[in-house]
Structure formats: C-alpha cells, structure tokens
Amino acid sequence: MSRAWKVSAVLCALLAVGCGEDPPAAPAYDWKLPAGFPEPFVPEDNPMSEAKVELGRHLFYDVRLSGNGTQSCASCHEQERAFTDGRATPVGSTGDHVARNAPGLANVAYLSTYTWANPVLETLEAQALVPLFNEVPTELGLAPRLEEVLQRLREDSRYPELFSAAFPGEAEPVGRESIVKALASFQRTLLSGSSPYDRYLQGDNTAMSPSAKRGMELFFGERAECYHCHSGPHLTNSFRAKDSRLPERQFFNTGLYNVDGNGAYPPDNPGLFEFTRKTFDQGRFRAPPLRNVALTAPYMHDGSIATLEEVIDHYTAGGRNVTEGPFAGDGRANPNKDPLVRPFTLTSEERADLIAFLESLTDTEFIQDPRFSNPWE
C-alpha cells in the first residue's frame, strides 16, 4: 500500500466526506425518560445532544441574554415553582406588562402548541423567538440589541467552548439560531414523572393517600369531568410525541369572563380570537398541563384565580360572575363557553379529595433536580 493511499484513507476516515461513505451518524441522545413516557418529538434540524442541552441550560439562567442585562428565562420560570414565577402575569425586562400568566415548563417537550392561545407555534424553537424578540410587549428585549448581546456571550470565558461543542464545525457558532436551538434543547429535558401519582400508576399502591385516590376518581369521572380537557399522561389534551401525528389544536372557553354579555373577554386577552377573528373563539385558550399544579399558582391564562380551592369554585359554579370593575359580566352565561363547563355539586370532603389528588401531581424530585438548576451558582 502506497504512502499516498494511506494518507487518503486516513483523511477519508477523519472527514467521512467525498470518499464514497456517509458521515457517521450522531450518537442517539439518552433521554433518561420517566417510566412510561414516550420519546418526545424533536425537529429534524435540531437533533438533541448533551452539548446543546448544557449550553441551553447556561443560556436559560443568564441575565445577559436580555437586551438590558436584567432578566433571564429563569426570571419568569423558577425551578422551585415548577418553572413558573408566582405572579399573576410577568413583567418584562423593560417594565412592560405581559398579559398572560407564565406557564410551567414541566414536560413542555410534549405539547403540540405553545403559549396560551397561539395555534401556529408548534415547536419550542418557534416559541423561544417570542420572549427573546417580541417588542409589544418587550420581554427579554433582544430585537434592537442582538449584536450587543452576542458580543457579551463571545467575550465570556465559558461560552466560546460551550457553543463550539454544541455546534461543531460552524465558523461562528455564537448566533441567534444557535441560541434558539440550545434553549429549546434544554427545555425538552425538563421531564417530570416522579410524583406520587406516577408512582401509583407504576404499581405503588401506597404512593397516594386514600383521599387523593378518591379525588382521582372524581377527576376522571363524569360528574366533575375534569379529564375531558386534562387528559393523557400530562393531563392536557395538547400532546405530541416522536411518533404521533400532530393532533388537531384544541382551545376552550371556561366562562371566566363575559364583558359585554355577548361573550367578549378583556381586550388584551381575547384568546384564540386574536388569531382567527371568529366571534366564537373569544375566550378560548389551551388547556394547561396539570403536573405540579399545586406549585404553579395563581391560575388561569391571566392569573386571576389565586388558589386551587378557588379554581374548584369556578368550575363547580359553571363559570365566574365578575360583579364589578371594567371586566364585569357573568361568565356562566358566556355564549361561547364550552358545554362541559356546567354547575355541579361537591361535598366538603369531595373538594378536599380533589385537592389531595391535584397535590399528588407534585414531583419534588423535578423541582430539586440539579440537571435543571442554575449552572452559574
């Protein structure tokens, strides 16, 4: 064998291009899925890797990712609150009011649409563009200062290596697209499946209290009918996994408002109507997942209900009657309200049982998992 042939063979092995062979496939990502969880859907142009996840974790917690350097993604998504913020609605980095409650991120990889009522945001990559670049309202505020933010990251001691590992072979890996892909990759790893409810489903009959078990029967029964909107493994009918077909989007009006007596919601929060302009879509929102729901107060799309007890009051009444203020109106009579939201009666014991079941969805391992924590601390 000639020396030249040997050199050529070595180059082919190293580059795996132009030598009649395909490049080696990227190693399969180890999801570390909770028991019974399917593999999440991942866009073809952003395959998972440990390096991307680690970069995304650093970016998620870094206030330098906001235009003025004051907020990070974690400012509105705190791990100890199951990645919510405890506010009715968030405030952006420049002080802008954000109209909708910050949703939890547990198992966000499995949602079929993102945010409360946007039917076109189908991936975490697309969703990330909203808080990063939206200007009305401003959240992280990158739109006018993107190059400044990128320069901050390039000058940091950690980021050049993190970006290069996550996006090898790119001449300039620190960029808008790589930030978005890394953030999405990290968020896909936020898997919660170790609650008492999960352990019960896996065969541990002692994981849930008798009260929680009775509450579960109510939740999945035809009297309370909670499960019609909060179904499936993550207790929302917004669901997508690797091998599932993208389902029809479902949004619901729960009778929270009826401002004009004809079904209107507050003008800054009209729900799906904002996109369709169809009257019957006023007040329709995506059903949120309920895992860790006891940690994610306040509730509803605008954070206008403070406690789980008050949420149960809302549904047993068949909607909410707002008696004063600019949004007064009887939501119970909203003509666009879903027919499943109708009055029903619970005893005090049954209410306690239903709360016990909702509390059994709390995954303490998830909110303490160091893989999801702030790497800058």
In the structure encoding, which two tokens stand for residue 183, read together?
Answer: 């953030």
| pLDDT for res 270 | 96
Torsion sign, CA atoms 294, 302, 224, 192: negative
| pLDDT for res 247 | 64
| pLDDT for res 16 | 39
Q: Average the pLDDT over 342-369 and give the result.
A: 98
| pLDDT for res 26 | 61
pLDDT tens-digit profile of 257-301?
Answer: 999 999 999 999 999 999 999 999 999 999 999 999 999 999 999
Domain extent listing, the chain? 50-192
Least confident among 99-103, 152-156, 232-236, 324-328: 232-236
Banded pLDDT at 244 (limits 50, 70, 90): confident
Share of the chain above pLDDT 90, in %: 89
Banded pLDDT at 25 (limits 50, 70, 90): low
Q: Average the pLDDT over 135-140 and give the result.
A: 96
Banded pLDDT at 167 (limits 50, 70, 90): very high
| pLDDT for res 343 | 97
**CATH number of the domain located at residue range(s) 50-192 in this protein:** 1.10.760.10
| pLDDT for res 39 | 96
Torsion sign, CA atoms 312, 315, 316, 321: positive
Question: Are residues 298 and 305 in contact, defined by beta-carbon separation less than 8 angstroms?
Answer: yes
Task: Look at residue 7 and tell me whether its pLDDT is greater than 70.
Answer: no
DSSP string computed for 158-223: SHHHHHHHHSTT-SS--SHHHHHHHHHHHHHT-----SHHHHHHTT-TTSS-HHHHHHHHHHTSTT
